[in-house]
Structures are given as structure tokens and as C-alpha cells.
Structure 1
């Protein structure tokens, strides 16, 4: 890239995710992770409790390589979500290191074996938190919950929105169907095939739901379009794999985190988060010019109407009477 230029980030329409070639370098495993590990104070038990000064510093470090649209709430909300994911992953790595060194059975031993690259103050703070009875109960419950997960995915750190972007046909610009995306996330032909029996059974149930819905529409004489078929597949995945509470949860099965109607930044979201192009600027100027002309014409009409009314006092009554007569003539059979 030219010297001084920065990498642009594009947000998928209607979805809280960056897509394109710049999404992966920005995501969890790379730039955001580096910024979190080097500049984020880890002696806090939640991401929201981190001081604003530290967050602004992380923004500045990211702006060294990427274009951050600081005034776009939707854009920055996803940036914060990526930083949150990296913060959570870093804390998780520390917790695993603490457990692997006897943290649950011998906390003092784990405390003495500080994780490489971790500051002593932050490590002591994390050990204090892990040794709390409340934290241990919460950790055990989360482990039990994760063990119940059966319909796992092979999507990796790349978001579902970015997988969809990568699978979109470059010639027709047609995105993959929800069923194709589900198959890719749960089936690996080069290895074991289906990740597990639950993924395979869910896929078969999704196909059955789709067939029932398609047969119903065909029997009613409805011509099923591609967009309608994709919608049927989407509803089938929801009914088999998850709940339909997208407005409340902000998560949609087969899509991931989505924009909610009640989100505070919905008004600022746009189809593209890139800076305005010259074409958009020209169109905006045309709209402004047309609005100004319309206002001038309106003012001119009002002045003319006022002048005629002054010279001919019965002008308004004549216009009103003529309008009524014309209306009566229209209703005459």
C-alpha cells in the first residue's frame, strides 16, 4: 500500500461483522489481539470496567493501520465487540494456564508460576479473582454448559458474515444459500465428514422442514423464487437449531450477531461504511439544489397569490366555487 495509507474496513449490510480481505487481519487473532495484549490493562474483571483512557489508546493503535469511522456508532460497536472478544480470549488463556498449573487444587503453586509475558500485578489480580468461591462456582457451571454443546461449527475465528462474503459468486454476486452455509460450517470432506451425528441429523431435519414448506407453496400455485427459497431455508435452520428471538438477543441462527431494531446506533448504519464517494457527493449536491429550487418556487407562488388577492378581493372565493362545481360535474352520471 502507498506510504501513509490505511486499510479500509467494510461492514456487512444488516450484520455486525466486517467482511472482505481486511476483516481477518483486523479480527481476533491478529491486530486486535496484539493491541489487547500490549495496551489493555488486564487487572479488571470485565471489559466495561476498563478506563476510557485505555480504550482510546487502543483505538489510536488500531488507527495506525486501519480506518476507524469513530463517528459511526454501528462501526465502532463492532470494533468494541472485536476488542471484547480478544480481551475474553486473553483472560481465558490466562485461566487455562492457571488451571493447568494446579490452580484449582493448589492455588499458591499456580500463583508462583506466573504466565510468561504477564505482568506480576495483573497476574496476582487474576489469581485473586480465580480463587474466589463465587468465581469457581461460575467456572464450573460454564464448563458444564459448554459440555452440553452438540451442534458445533468449523467456522473458526472468521465470522459467518465473512464466510458468506467469501462464498458469494463474483460474477452473479449471488450469496450462498443458508443451507449451503450450514453445510460448509458443519461438514469437512477432507477429514471426517460431518463434525458429529448431531450436525448431520440437524441438516437432515432442516431439509425436511424445507421440503414441507416448498411443497405447501407449490400446491398453492406459488412460484418460488431464489430469494423465497433462501428465506425458507433460513426459517428451517431457525426452527431446528435455535430460537427466533432475534429482536431480543441480537443473534440469528445461521447468521450470527445481527442489527436489532432497538439498538441505539440503528439510525447511523449504512449499507457501506466507507467514506462518501465523489458520485454520492454529486447526487447529494443535486438533491440540495432541487430542494432550494422547490423552496424558491413555493415562495414565488405565495407572493403571486398574495398580490392577486390584494388586487382582486373575490379571487379566493371564485377559485373555491369553481373547484366545487368541477367536483360536482365529475360525480354526474
Structure 2
């Protein structure tokens, strides 16, 4: 299987993360790249540098206002007397229709949903090349490639069209799906991360040309809390084009696989001809976020089940945090897919 990754994705090195009122080391560390690369190579992936396609494929799903913010906010932030080294919001609008301020502090609150997406000097560069890797993967499977893996780090599925959140800045899976659509494909996004892909849902919620399906821990008491509930089905033209399949905390292999069959049935009903898998490995039983309890053999079964859909498939990396099993979980998923 071909894989895409650019070494500039290492440059994002976030330091801070606030959870339950406590400041902690950020778990979305560059070390994730080393372990994921090892896992991909163990599965036989050939790592390839992406070509640069510019901003247009990214701007197809992200607003120019937001992209300008991401590119300039850190330099502007550093001009504030006493500002910290990372852009972290301390105020938010009550609703998206509220006024758009000129100040860096106000715009940070508008464009960053939470304290888990700090922006440092090299965040934009890393996110940009993560997105370029996803675009390269989409181009590959739209051509002659039947499958590919993209090591997208920083990840993307919590990023809306104009809003960062949950370690995410550019929505790599959404960018890849839109790229496939522009190339004449009918894409679906299947998100198997332990957290709901709220940014992906929001990006396509009123559209009928990209199906979004997410299997995740029930958000009633789990991030992202406000999205990912079963009653969210889309709106307008998109009504019926979004499917959320929340699972009880601690759900293991068999129930996850049964739910995956439901997801794949919906994808088949959509007439999908190119599948983007938002591949979170944080559903693992030993992942630091402790949401679900999928085992390493369970990930192999997930890969095999996805292969059973018989679709050109692009695996786009989402979560999966530092644990002894991270590399093995990626190897299991990709090997399970390829062997099937």
C-alpha cells in the first residue's frame, strides 16, 4: 500500500492542553509520527512525499477568513504585551453569528473551539503539509490506486470550515473527500475515531454530495459533547446524509464490528465509489483517552470489514495517542485490510 507523509508535519509541537480545569502536557506529540511510521512500514507501506497543490483544494472546504487567521495569528499574537508562546483562546462568542472582532484575542476565540488546539510558530506549516498529504492520497485513489494510507498529523476531524478544535486545524478527511468529489467520485467518509468527527459533520451537514458516518463513544459524557448524537441526521439537502452511531463507554470488538456493519450498509446505500476512512486508533483499550475497548486483533477485523466493502479506500490518520500498542494497532488495521 502506498502511504503519504511530509516531514514538515513534525514541526507542530504543542505544549499545553487543558482538561477538567488542569493544564497538562499536550498528548498530540510529534513522537506519534515515529510510532505511526513504524506501524505503516510494518504493514508494507511505501512512504511517499506529497506534491504541493496549493491552497485551492483546502479552500474548497475552509473559509478564506479562517485560512488567513491560521497563517497570521501567531505572529500577531506575539505582538501582544505579555502574550504566551502559543495562541490559546480565553473568550468565545455566544454564537457564530456574533460580531467578528479585529483583535487577535477575539479572533482566536472565534476560530478556536477549545484549549486543545494551541497554535505555535510552525502550526500552520505542519497543518498545511498534513492537508497536502491527504490531497495526494485522494489523487492516488482517484487514479489507479485502489487504496492508500495518509499519515495526517496534526489530525483533522474536529476542524470545521472556520473553526479549529481538539488538536485539529485543517480537516484532512473533508479535504480529501472534496478533492475526490471534484474529480468525479461519489465519496463517503467513515470515521472510526473514539471521538465524534464533529468538524467533518459540520462541514457537510447541509450537503447531499458527501455522506458522513461516524462510530464513536457516546458524547453525552465524552468529547466533543455537543455533537455526535444519534438524532443528528443532516439538514436541508443534507437531511439523511449524516449517520451517527454512538457507543457506550467501554464497548469492545464484537459490538464495534456489528456497528461497523450498519455503517457499511449505509455507505453501500449511498452508492459510494470512493471511501475515506478517518482512522482513529484511540478506540483501543489502552489508549490514554479510555473511551472504548477495541483490541489490536479487533483493529485487524475492522480493516478486514472495511475491505469487504470493495471500494477504493483512503485511510486518513486521526487520533491514536502514545501507548505501547499504537504502532501495532496501525499495522493490524492496514494488514487486516490488505489481507482481506
> Normalising TM by the smaller chain, what interval?
under 0.3
Q: Which structure has more strand as a fraction of its residues? A: 2
Q: Which structure has more helix as a fraction of its residues? A: 1
TM-score computed with the length of structure 2 as normaliser: 0.23
TM-score computed with the length of structure 1 as normaliser: 0.23
Which protein shows a greater Rg?
Answer: 1
